[in-house]
Structure 1
Amino acid sequence: MEMQHHLFATRFIIFLIITFVHVPSSAFANDDERYVNCGNLFDCGDIKGVGYPFSGSNRPDYCGYPGLKLECSDQDPEITIQKLTYKVLGIDNQSRNLSVARKDYAENICPTLLLNTTWIPNLLNYTSDDRNITIYYGCLAGAPSFANSFQFPCTINTTAMTGYFTAGSTSNLISYLASCKDNVEVPVRQSALEKILSTPTETQLLGGLKEGFDFVWSADDSLCETCNSSGGQCGYSQTTAAFSCYCKDGPRESSCQQSPSMSSCLLLLFSAGVTLEVNRKTA
């Protein structure tokens, strides 16, 4: 009888070990689809290896923050922010800077639609190096001549008009600028503004606009660092409207729970075997 108990305990332990070894790893840590997809990185042209807080291309919307979706157009990375499309010039995760230039000013100082530059409060904000300039459209011909200003011809949707740019004091231009039908504010870098002021021409202005400007983002970056360090992928849950840490076995708020290691599982099996043996001897 004792031999049968011993044989049963031995066979049971062997059964547990065989079962553990043959159970696929997915049984302990399922590869959640969101975890897999958010491990992909966005590549387009010179912009490569972009992850959170951006989505786009092979990164579904839930992999990035709302409003930060990238597109790839003829190997040109782009982002659309509230109806305006920008060419992405650079992304720096360390400084959290998104460098962009307005696409509508890429080749022409007179775009089809006259729209002010857009941003997303509490998510995207201008940097301290950005300087706003104002371009006026539909002004009266024969503009007064002042330093740091110039007049240029425009044709927008087959309508010919006069445009005007000034980056200096406008106190002597108030009456003239009041005649202009539209104006557009566009940020430029301080260095670009200095070039424009040194030689105020249409070519210099367009060149300064093409150099772009910087946004700095704030998208739960500290939570993302915690998530990454725990082995997860950062994302955003549309259901909870909040940051989500995608782990192999499903989403968490900010950090993945570590799966039991091989050694701890074997220790568990050994403990089970010892318990069976003790129970056998005391039976």
Structure 2
Amino acid sequence: MASLACNIPTFFVIVSILFSSINANSAQPPTRICPHFDCGNGITIRYPFWLQALQLEHCGYEGLNLSCHAQIPILNLSSDLYQVRSINYLENSLIVSHTELTETNNCPKIHHDFTLTLTNSYLFNFTSGNKLLRFFYNCTLYPPSLPDIACLQSGAKRSFVFTIGAIPEFDWHGYCESTVSVPVLEKALDDKELLVSSINKALPEGFKLTWRTPSGSCQFCEAFNSNGFCGYTNSSSTENFFCICPDGRHSISCPQDVFVSASFELNSVGSGAIVLAGLMIVATVFYFVQKKKNSLYKPVSRK
């Protein structure tokens, strides 16, 4: 019976240690190779983003390089700079805003269109969760009774904003000095207010971008039967890709045997919980079976 009392607690201790080991590992890149960083404003930045610096190689997608300016992460997108306001790694999305805009600016104005180059369009998408607006600045002639952006009035010139698909018919390009198209968060636009009244709040809040895994070698590297992380050398060569695996680097993907040997360590918390539940059930059944056996052989006391 003493042996049973010692073995059962020991078994539970072993199970607890095993469960802790399972939960301590997750499908995150090794921090030594792909370190997390923070520009100073509390946003944790990790793979597939990487810090643009003087380095020979990096771990993360090409196009998701960030720089830090005044403790703010900055994304260079199509030669324009955007402030990163938040990152959602579960949804593969981030909120960015134009660097020239701030919440304290009472009359924000965008000076250029938001565009994606051919290379960026394969990585980013901005159609989900946003409304596309079009601004017409300094119009000398305009339809009567349309609400204009009051803070942008300049003499007799007026500026206007509309959502794409709801622009009144008029020769805007013929009578306005410039036109700009930009996305804004749909939830930042108050339906109860006029559009011209809500843009002062909506523009500084920015817009949503989603990203996808680059096609080609990076997809093979991250595939389930590989479970690697995409890395690149900062060289002009087109052959600058490498796959980061548990056993080191490979040209395209991780070897299957390496993935199998490392898969136990990369189990999710949910899988670890299932394993623990099974082991706990086995331990409980074993305990009561042994307890019952010992009670059957309990010596009869003599009077």
Please report the TM-score for the alignment, with normalisation by the length of structure 2: 0.58
1:122 positional shift: 0.9
Find the counterpart in structure 1 of residue 243 from structure 2: 245
| Counterpart Cα distance in 2 of 1:155 and 1:110 | 12
| Counterpart Cα distance in 2 of 1:199 and 1:169 | 16
Matches within 5 A, 1:165-184: 165-167=161-163, 169-172=166-169, 174-175=170-171, 178-184=174-180
Find the counterpart in structure 2 of residue 144 from structure 1: 144
Q: Which amino acid aligns with 2:121?
A: P
Larger Rg belongs to: 1
Find the counterpart in structure 2 of residue 41 from structure 1: 36
Q: Which amino acid aligns with 1:97?
A: S
Cα shift readout 1:149-178 (whole Å, capped 9, x = no counterpart): 42334499xx99642223483335x14564
Instruction: Give the aligned length.
Output: 216
**1:210 aligned to 198, 204, 213, which one?**
204
Q: Which amino acid aligns with 1:244?
A: F
1:128 positional shift: 2.3
Task: Describe the shift of the 1:242–1:117 C-alpha distance in structure 2 as closer, same or farther (beyond 3 A).
Answer: same
Cα shift readout 1:169-202 (whole Å, capped 9, x = no counterpart): 3335x14564111111110122123x1x532376
Aligned to 2:114, what secondary structure does the other structure show?
A: coil
| Counterpart Cα distance in 1 of 2:90 and 2:221 | 13
| Counterpart Cα distance in 2 of 1:160 and 1:62 | 53
| Counterpart Cα distance in 2 of 1:170 and 1:105 | 25
Calculate the aligned-residue CA RMSD, in Å: 3.7
Find the counterpart in structure 2 of residue 280 from structure 1: none
- More displaced, 242-251 or 43-52? 242-251
| Counterpart Cα distance in 2 of 1:160 and 1:82 | 35
Q: Which amino acid aligns with 2:144?
A: P
1:229 positional shift: 6.7
Matches within 5 A, 1:5-154: 38-44=33-39, 45-56=41-52, 62-106=58-102, 107=105, 108-111=107-110, 114-119=111-116, 120-140=120-140, 144-146=144-146, 149-154=147-152
Find the counterpart in structure 2 of residue 28 from structure 1: none
Task: Describe the shift of the 1:61–1:100 C-alpha distance in structure 2 as closer, same or farther (beyond 3 A).
Answer: farther
Find the counterpart in structure 2 of residue 219 from structure 1: 213
1:70 positional shift: 0.7
Cα shift readout 1:215-244 (whole Å, capped 9, x = no counterpart): 1111247545448975x5431355345752
| Counterpart Cα distance in 1 of 2:197 and 2:239 | 45
Are the equivalent residues in 1 in contact too, given 2:87–2:93 (CA < 8 A)?
yes
1:205 positional shift: 0.7
| Counterpart Cα distance in 2 of 1:183 and 1:43 | 36
Task: Describe the shift of the 1:84–1:246 C-alpha distance in structure 2 as closer, same or farther (beyond 3 A).
Answer: same
Q: Which amino acid aligns with 1:109?
A: P
Are the equivalent residues in 2 in contact too, given 1:227–1:255 (CA < 8 A)?
no
| Counterpart Cα distance in 1 of 2:49 and 2:221 | 9
Aligned to 2:44, what secondary structure does the other structure show?
A: strand
Please report the TM-score for the alignment, with normalisation by the length of structure 1: 0.62
Are the equivalent residues in 2 in contact too, given 1:139–1:181 (CA < 8 A)?
yes
Task: Describe the shift of the 1:53–1:70 C-alpha distance in structure 2 as closer, same or farther (beyond 3 A).
Answer: closer
Gaps of 5+ in 2: 1-29, 262-303
Q: Which amino acid aligns with 1:183?
A: T
